[in-house]
Amino acid sequence: MSAFRIKAPLISVVPLPLYALFGPGERVAVWANLPLAVAAAWAWSRAAAAWWRGHPRAREAAVLGGALTALVPLAYGLSRIFFVETLVSCLLALFAWRCAEAEKDDRGESVRLGVLLGLGLLAKITFPLLAAGFVWPARERLKPHAKRALLIGGLVAATWYLENAPYVLGFAWSAGFGKVARDYSGAGGLSARLDWVVSILRDGFSFPLAAALAAVAAAAAASARRARLDEGAKTALWGLAPMLVYAAGVNREPRMIAPLLAVPALLAARAAVSFARPAARGAAAALLLGAGLWVCADQTFRAGPGRALDFNGAPVSDAGWDRGALVDAAARAVGPGNVAAVALEYPKLNANNLSSLAAARGLPLQFVNLGYAQDSVENALIRLKDKNASALVFVDGLPASELPAFLNRANAGVAAAVRSGRLRARLSGTVSLAPGVSASVLRLDR
């Protein structure tokens, strides 16, 4: 309810059964993505079967489409880390399927839609935006279910939003259009949006798979006697409409629209089965699956840091930073306060992943940062007091070029306050994190 008020919490609940069996841990948490990814591919195939119901090759389109959704590089890349998108993709696929199958006189449908909507909101606050594109084409069939589904969805979501809505709404706006988005996005304008499109093609689909999707779609359009979209294709295209909102926003992180990338894959599958000749259909399916499987194998087993797409790449033997040693050193330093502040925001080490590791070890130890994008030394010092921090961690040896500068503006000022004696602290221990990188753990005096 209160651990991370600015983000919807369902992702933190999903791996609890695995924790009960294997113990809590970051590696165990990722296993929860496997059934979610399978369920997403299955649900997308069911949605495709409903969209093209009546087509003589609807089953082939559904099977091929479900396989292709699992071969989108951004989808399987995100499934290998503990981010929320795999959960959102699964819930969105189930929601799109139920919208496609909904009948006016099926009272149970309102319950299913309401539960999925509520869980979607608990997974990510932008879920209604992602879902809206699938609601619109089915609006006439969904009208009898609307009130009950919204009531059920609201009740499910209210279990958390009733207490946290102001925090998460404020952060969502900032992350999409405000300060947080500007911090991460860099330059704006037309060129930035073109770069966003290119990043979707490069990291979302990969250039080989994107080329295969485009080639099959173009060939199908050229071979059609009438260049006219069927109702299923129109429904799928409506499902892509929320991307216009993201294109207009400031935040151009492709991960935000990852759940929608299944839709072009389904459209390509539909195009592949549209050819009159069986040989052409087989060639189109082979091209799509071949490109997808080749990229998947390359990104899973071969691609190093120089060629890896976002959230992808072959495993490496490097064990990473020794965060465990730092957690142990901080546990010895904090004393009864049980709160340590970290003067670093970096993907390999920050307050969040240190807190996660401490929790996995069963330690009553919490790590906090100096404040998101904190630019005031005074406010950072006030935060140390407000959070009742009894230890402070500094990291040395990282090149400034590697650090996200806007997230680490107060670090040097807090270190200067320690050196001057204004912030009274005593060195408790030093930990080697990686070659050339070390951490100093200081115990703060009251």
**Where do the structural domains in the chain lie, given as residue ranges?**
10-302, 323-444
pLDDT band with cut points at 50, 70 and 90 for residue 185? low
Per-residue pLDDT, 188: 63
pLDDT, tens only, 363-406: 889 999 999 888 899 999 999 999 999 999 999 999 888 888 88
pLDDT, tens only, 134-143: 999 999 999 9
Considering only 17-31, 199-213, 413-427, which range has the smallest mean pLDDT?
A: 17-31
pLDDT, tens only, 188-238: 678 888 999 999 999 999 999 999 999 999 999 998 766 678 999 999 999
Cross-strand bridge partners of residue 394: 440
Percent of the chain at pLDDT above 90? 75
pLDDT band with cut points at 50, 70 and 90 for residue 336? low
